[in-house]
Amino acid sequence: MTTAIQQRIAGRKHKEIFEQIRKQGTVSKIDLLEKSGLTGSTLTRTLEELTAQGVIAEAGFGESTGGRRPILYTVNPDYAYVFGLDISRMYSKLILFDLQLNKLDSKRWVMTEDVTPEVLLEEIVAECRAMLERRSLSADKVLGMGIGAVGPLDRASGMLLEPLHFAASGWKNVSVTGFLESRLGFTVLLDNGANTALIGESWSDRERDYRHLLYVHVGVGLRSAMMTNGQVVYGAVDMEGSIGQMIIQTDGPRLWNHGNFGALESYASIHALEQQAQARLKQGRDSLLLRLEPDPEKIGFAHLQQALQAGDPLTVELFTQAATYFGIGLSNLLNILHPEKVILGGALIGGHAGFFHTATRVAIQRTYYYPKYQVVFSQGTLGEEALATGAALLVVNKLSAV
């Protein structure tokens, strides 16, 4: 089914021209002629064939430089549609896009104890059908669905293996792509959410030519991805959660009796913050948290967010401590990988500006080659939709694949 997507645009030069138009949004025939290296007649024929196929469309005329005004071309948004799906521990999200990656519809699920794989996948199928019905679209207009999910996972088989920390049971060896393809009838591709978030953010900033990008998601766990020369770096196994097992202190704690003692996720994650807050309150620390929830054992991330917004001293202290530890871990990555740009996402990054600023300041202070080595830090442009947008791009990118 993936091969069928790749075969929609026949020929290397057709794919290259389509990709140039897609990356630039709207481009003139003159620009295409300069960048493609094709002869005028070959380019004209290629554009005519892509237009006849419906994958691109004329978009008016550009400014004249003395002669005839040049024809502009753009991707035809209605040629096909694509779904992007984010399966994460706290929330999952489905988005319907057109071929220009314009958002047409979306649905969000809170991942409670009741949202088992069976429940979520059935609701995804129903929502896909409902989104298409609302726009009078048939399933054959859908290019496919991309999924960015919590790892570890097997991309080839489309299976979630043993992801941790879901509220519901059953999230083990779940054949996600097989189930959805059989029910929906179109191609479904799977990758880990950190990779798809990086793909999405890279696409949104495609005018900048960053060769080496790093993405880190800081939430229930820590997830990371690396891109070099426009390609995601894959290891021998799914690497998404590995950053969380970076050892910060050899005799430190570990979460859920799992992984390394003193691992980064034991100091800088939602669960680590919750545990720290509960422990401090049991020790007798005064805090607004106790007025939000008198039982320390029941303090959760939602309470921490409320207290943080109110400026509660204990909560600010805990977030600052977690950001400092995360910054130390981030400096280790910078010293090893030397990315040009680092994109930080996730609930802890987006929930409080101070976390981002503290973490990046600590990271820079501990970067060995600084200031000779300069890195750009960003919170991205897509926010919580980065994973689903990048997942949709998994499918769209297949049109240009040779």
Per-residue pLDDT at 70: 76
Per-residue pLDDT at 353: 79
Nearest CA to 196 among 167, 161, 238, 140?
A: 238
pLDDT along the chain (402 residues), means of 10: 82 92 89 84 91 90 70 93 95 97 97 96 97 94 96 91 89 95 95 94 85 92 90 79 87 85 93 94 94 94 94 95 96 94 92 90 92 91 93 95 81
Q: Which CATH number fits domain 207-379: 3.20.20.10, 3.30.43.10, 3.30.420.40, 3.90.550.10?
A: 3.30.420.40
Q: Which CATH number fits domain 81-200+386-400: 3.20.20.70, 3.30.420.40, 1.10.10.10, 3.30.465.10?
A: 3.30.420.40
Residue ranges of domains in the chain: 2-75, 81-200+386-400, 207-379
From residue 377, give the alpha-carbon distance in Å to each of 97, 363, 366: 28, 10, 15
Per-residue pLDDT at 10: 87
Per-residue pLDDT at 336: 92
Per-residue pLDDT at 67: 65
Per-residue pLDDT at 209: 78
**pTM of the complete model:** 0.90
Per-residue pLDDT at 394: 96
What is the architecture of the domain spanning 2-75? Orthogonal Bundle (1.10)
Per-residue pLDDT at 64: 65
From residue 54, give the alpha-carbon distance in Å to each of 2, 42, 48, 99, 186: 20, 18, 10, 11, 20
Same fold flag, 2-75 and 207-379? no
Name the token pair of 324: 């400092």
Nearest CA to 116 among 192, 70, 169, 179?
A: 169
Name the token pair of 320: 């600052």
Strand 56-61 and strand 71-75: the pairing is antiparallel
